[in-house]
Structure 1
């Protein structure tokens, strides 16, 4: 009786221990399930036991500056093309040169040296494919007649027009050989109304003083500019006013000097402004430089000279709407 009871008690105890073990295993499984579900919710990767396969080599760290962006930025393209006037027609255009030398019968002196300017302008503009025509010693009425004649011509088969006036002048005007002034505004207005020159450059170069004042040099840090010109110079009389530039588009007017001052002309070698203009046009046009850059060089060189103790500062006014690059053969 006693032994039987003892064996039954042991088997019952073993059963109780197995139940406790099963209960503890179940609770562990539940905790593992809970942890796995929580890890999935938080996107935490489950633990993967290490295998006996070959170890991966660690790649060396790279600086972030060498790593290309996943979305590379587009490079900004900057256009360097210039919108230029067409200069393809041959002949390129008419070039009128009015050369007033003889002022006898007036209080004005003859313009010695002007023929050198005329010859050099003729050569330069012929090399630019212009059809050059020269008119010498025109009185005021004749100047207006010639200007009107050129303004009424058919320029439809040409790309530009040039007019060079070499004369005495006074404020707002150039003078005929009879001493009578012709307003600059009248000259430009005639070409502003020319339909076959619409949207084409109309260029005027005028050699004349702008008044009777002598322009003096200004002291700079290391003294006066050293450039000097030797020889016999004459001063033009009165003015050809730059403020007379017509407001319509596609005009350019280059004047020998700023308003209120004299310009200078050598009695043999021609005027300072026209001679430098011809030189810079020949060199600059062959390098495909635009007219604004060329005239800026003319201003710089002429203004650096000392002429009979005075200075000369050319002036350019323009209403060009495109870049102007004149051809040169």
Structure 2
């Protein structure tokens, strides 16, 4: 390759498939950039790939040709296309020149329209009642930020026990678990990118758990910089073409600064003797705000029922939050957080027989049964916590099949 020549392997675009968005992330594009390209060229896969490669080149102007080539080879290998990485390395895919200005847009009118292939999600005339149990349970990533050196008094004591206990129960269920401790905001985003790029094709599901301080719509890195809960953490996973399996999210963080002091009332269907744990927990609150909901614009559309292999984007995931909106999440300085303790109990006891939605229902019930005790000087304040679950699953999701050995 001649030095100074721009890499634009036009033939590469024709060989890439639905992994193109993962490749874009590995090349350094932001998820918002990839998502815009996906929306702009939703029915032209080849055009979307060409535009992604061009945007990468536009942002790599200070790199030499060889540096760009090595970056592309590395990204292809990491997203599972070792064959194409070798083709680039050996020169079997010839290097082309940078597309001239406007060429990407013009391709739309000159190229045959290519329909993006549907995901490998199980489909039928109606959505399945139960998601398929694959050959492996799947990958799990636990991010646990404990120490915050730039902000005095914000270290989260007791949280090391949470990630250790959760990792153990997930491994027992069959997950391939990675635990990341004390990540900066950049390192959190990088860990998400690498998690997306793993091979999820034979997984029953994936699981991501983030434990940290929360602030408005962000999860805090150890550098006290926020990572967007939807934009940077959940949406890249939900919308990734590389992940056909259902997604399970567990978010252990505050969603506001208000404390739930509880109310005196009898709850239907709950045994009053079991409404409060036998011993009240002495807890602390993780007092920075964290809201999961981003303000969305709405518009009215006409719709008809159609028979299609295309699946809606915002499905096949379930997320459980430690607390209700605007409220603080509770943790014990030695025992860990209330939510993760109850997740470990439920998954450890019932994870091989109950579906995930039922497991989280059990978690929410057990979290609600805990009564905490906050000490402020000589004053003790009793506090409660209410975990919340949002599910967009279209069927029951089990970690194990009914025939799996315990």
TM-score by length of 1: 0.69
Matched, 1:86 2:132: yes
Aligned 8 A contact 2:280 2:371 in 1: no
SS in 2 for 1:242: coil
Q: 1:281 aligns with which of 343, 347, 351?
A: 347
Matched, 1:270 2:320: no
Equivalence map 1:128-277=2 (5 Å)? 128-186=173-231, 187-198=233-244, 200-221=245-266, 225-227=275-277, 229-243=279-293, 248-277=314-343
Instruction: State the distance in 2 between where 1:221 and 1:142 align.
Output: 46
1:80-126 alpha-carbon deviations (Å, 9 max, x no partner): xx721122322x21100101011122145111111111011111110
Aligned 8 A contact 1:96 1:133 in 2: yes
SS in 1 for 2:372: coil
SS in 2 for 1:197: coil
SS in 2 for 1:216: coil
Structure 1: 4+ residue segments shifted above 6 A: none
Instruction: State the distance in 1 between where 2:318 and 2:139 align.
Output: 15
Matched, 1:113 2:158: yes
Instruction: State the distance in 2 between where 1:147 and 1:243 align.
Output: 20
Over 3 Å counting, the alpha-carbon distance change for 1:100 and 1:130 in structure 2 is same
SS in 1 for 2:251: strand
CA apart distance, 1:282: 1.6
Equivalence map 1:22-37=2 (5 Å)? none
CA apart distance, 1:154: 2.5
Aligned 8 A contact 1:242 1:317 in 2: no
Aligned 8 A contact 2:281 2:372 in 1: no
Over 3 Å counting, the alpha-carbon distance change for 1:221 and 1:101 in structure 2 is closer
Partner of 1:313: 386
Q: 2:357 aligns with which of 274, 292, 300?
A: 292
Over 3 Å counting, the alpha-carbon distance change for 1:303 and 1:244 in structure 2 is farther
Q: 2:369 aligns with which of 274, 280, 304?
A: 304
Over 3 Å counting, the alpha-carbon distance change for 1:244 and 1:159 in structure 2 is farther
CA apart distance, 1:158: 2.0
Task: Give unpaired runs (5+ residues) of structure 2.
Answer: 1-127, 297-312, 374-381
Aligned 8 A contact 1:229 1:307 in 2: no
Partner of 1:28: none
CA apart distance, 1:245: 12
Partner of 1:125: 170
SS in 1 for 2:219: strand
Instruction: State the distance in 2 between where 1:220 and 1:316 align.
Output: 23
Aligned 8 A contact 2:134 2:202 in 1: no
Q: Considering only CA atoms, is the larger Rg found in Structure 1 or Structure 2?
A: 1
SS in 2 for 1:96: strand
SS in 1 for 2:293: helix
Instruction: State the distance in 1 between where 2:372 and 2:258 align.
Output: 13
1:53-78 alpha-carbon deviations (Å, 9 max, x no partner): xxxxxxxxxxxxxxxxxxxxxxxxxx
Aligned 8 A contact 2:256 2:291 in 1: no
Question: Between Structure 1 and Structure 2, how many residues are aligned?
Answer: 245
